[in-house]
Amino acid sequence: MKRKTRVLFIALSAVLVIGGVVLAKGMPEPAKSTSDKAKISRPSLAVELVRPHQATWPQSLAVSGALAPWQEATISAETGGLRIVALHADVGRRVKRGQLLAELNSDTVKTDLLKAQAAVDSARASLREAQANVRRGHAVQESGALSGQQIEQYEITEQSAKANLASAEASLAAVRIRLAQTRILAVDNGVISSRMATLGTVVSSGSELFRLVCDERVEWRAEVDANQLPRLAHGQRAMVTLPGGETVEGKVRQLSPTLDSKTRTAFAYVDLPVEERIRAGAYVTGHIDLGEQAAWTVPSSAIVLRDGRSYVFTVDSKRSVVAQREVVIGRTRGDRIEITRGLASTTLIVRNGGAFLNDGDSVRIRSAKEAA
C-alpha cells in the first residue's frame, strides 16, 4: 500500500512540473517601454545637409510655331485671253527683280500695236493739215480774202486734231503696256516657292502663276498666349530647334498687336538668318530669352519625385529627424534645380539619398570632413 502511494505521488509531481513548464512557455513576454525602444533604435541613413543657394540665372520662354516666309509675293497675269508659250523658271529657282519667268503669246497684241501706231500717224497728219490751214488763214486775214468765221473754224479744227492725236497716242501706250504684260517678270529678288503656270494654258487677268519668297527670308512665328505676350519685347534673342535637331539663333522683330479671337494666341515674329536648311512650312519648337533673374537653387539630387510631385527632406538638427516637404520646381541648369515655392532660404535639407527616406525617419548628420 505504501509502495502504491509513493508511486502515485511521484507521478503527480511529474505532471505538475510538466504543466508549469508548458504554462511558462505559453505566456507572452512583458512589453518593452518606449524608452527601451529608443535605446535600441538606430539612424536609418547618414546624410549631408545643404541650404538653398541664390544665383542669377537666365530666364527663357519655351514656345512653338511655324516657319513661314518673311514676305511672299504672288506673281499673276495682268492681261487675259492669251496662251502661255514659254516658261523660264521652276520651283526652287533663285531669281532677281525683273527676271523673265514666263511668256504669253503676243501675236495679236503686236497686230493691235500696228493699228494703234497707224492711228497715231493719221492723227499727226490731220494735225499738220489743220495747222497749215490756220497759218494760211492768219496770213490773208488782213487782206479780207477769208472771213473771221472761216479762220475761227480752222482754229477749231486744229484743236480737234490735237485732241485726236493725244487719244491715238494714249491708245498706242495702252497697247504697248499690254505687250509688255505678255512677259511675266519677277517682282523681287527671291526664290520660287510654287508654280501654277502650265505651258499652253490660256490665262485670264489676275490668274496666279508663281509664288516668290522675297529675299529668301524665312521667319519663325512663335505662338504665345495672353500671359506670355507681356513678357516679350523687340530684340530678344531666340533659339529655334529645326526638324533635323539643329538649332539656329534669331531675334524678335515684332509682336502681334492683338490676339486671335478663335485660338486666343498671338504671334511673336522672329527674324532668322538666310540659310538653305531653314524651310518654310515646318512646325518647330524653341525658346526666347527673357533676361536674367534671381533664383533659389538646390542640388538636383535633393529632389525626390513621388506620385508626380516634387519633394525635399528637411532636417531637425536637434532631433536628427527628417520631414518630407512638397516644393514647386522651376528652371534646371547643370546639376541644380530652381525652387519657386515651398522652401525657405535658411532651411536645411538632405543633399542626397532622399529616395531611401520616409517622413519621420531618424538620420545621422555627417560632418563636412566626413562628407568630404
pLDDT of residue 8: 55
Same domain, residue pair 332 and 224 = no
Classify residue 139: in a domain, yes or no: yes
Same domain, residue pair 334 and 202 = no
Classify residue 39: in a domain, yes or no: no
Classify residue 8: in a domain, yes or no: no
Classify strands 45-47 and 363-365 as parallel, antiparallel or unpaired. Answer: parallel
CATH number of the domain encompassing residue 233: 2.40.30.170
Classify residue 28: in a domain, yes or no: no
How crowded is the C-beta side of 216, counted as CA atoms within 13 Å?
14
The helix/strand/coil state of 143 is coil
CA nearest to 358, candidates 307, 322, 318: 322
Classify residue 93: in a domain, yes or no: yes
Same domain, residue pair 222 and 209 = no
Q: Please, are residues 229 and 61 in contact by the beta-carbon 8 Å criterion?
A: no
pLDDT of residue 1: 45
Report in angstroms the alpha-carbon separations of 95 from 63, 75, 77, 99, 248. Answer: 34, 13, 18, 6, 25
Q: Which residues of the chain have pLDDT under 70?
A: 1-44, 141-145, 367-372
Q: Please, are residues 123 and 158 in contact by the beta-carbon 8 Å criterion?
A: no
Distance CA 208, CA 185 (A): 13
pLDDT of residue 4: 54
pLDDT of residue 124: 93
pLDDT of residue 116: 95
Distance CA 128, CA 157 (A): 11
Domain span at 309: 45-57+294-371
Q: What is the separation of C-alpha 195 from the centre of its chain, rounded to a whole number of angstroms?
A: 27
Backbone angles phi, psi at 12, to 5 degrees: -65, -40
Same domain, residue pair 91 and 193 = yes
Q: 297 exposed, middle or buried (CB, 10 Å; 0-12, 13-18, 19+)?
A: buried
Same domain, residue pair 83 and 209 = yes
Which residue type occupies 289? D
Instruction: Choose the final residue of a domain: 171, 198, 214.
Output: 214
Distance CA 81, CA 74 (A): 20
CATH number of the domain encompassing residue 345: 2.40.420.20
pLDDT of residue 258: 92
Same domain, residue pair 324 and 225 = no
Percentage of the chain with pLDDT > 70? 85
CATH number of the domain encompassing residue 142: 1.10.287
Alpha helices, H only, the chain = 2-26, 34-40, 107-140, 148-180, 368-371
Report in angstroms the alpha-carbon separations of 296 from 37, 79, 289. Answer: 40, 68, 19
Domains: count for the chain: 4
pLDDT of residue 319: 77
Same domain, residue pair 321 and 279 = no
Q: Which residue has the cell 516657292?
A: 193
Same domain, residue pair 256 and 298 = no
pLDDT of residue 15: 54
Q: Which tens digits make up the pLDDT trace of 88-138? A: 999 999 999 999 999 999 999 999 999 999 999 999 999 998 888 888 777
Classify residue 209: in a domain, yes or no: yes
